[in-house]
Amino acid sequence: MKKFTINCDFGGQLSPFTIFIGKPEHSHHPLHFQADWLSKQRGGMIPGDVMEAVTQLQQLAEKNGVSLEELCVYALGTSEEQASLEGENKENVSEDSSSEDDEVAKDHFE
């Protein structure tokens, strides 16, 4: 399971929120239960572009027989790389990993 921080919408105000991506149940979106909880308990919403990007990554992971969580790490890169990207591109997602050998595929979350 991997931990990521994304900017979620709380009544028009974007605030960081931690999500976890692991081995999703096939009948639900990988963030379904977290999005549901966030909405009901905190009044927040995971942005649609993040939900769609995770859907695409899940499809890619299944098609290529790789782990969704590792593909997400690959797509997001390290937190240091992502912080740099956020400063330049105002990204909605960052990965909270200390691994220094993660790579970046920026276009998945732009």
What are 14-58's pLDDT values in tens digits?
A: 999 999 998 888 889 999 999 999 999 999 999 999 999 999 999
Task: Say how far apart CA 35 and CA 47 lie, in whole Å.
Answer: 10
Hey, which residues does 39 pair with through a beta bridge? none
Whether 109 has a pLDDT exceeding 50, the answer reads no
Work out the mean pLDDT of the chain and round it to a whole number.
77
At residue 23, the pLDDT reads: 84
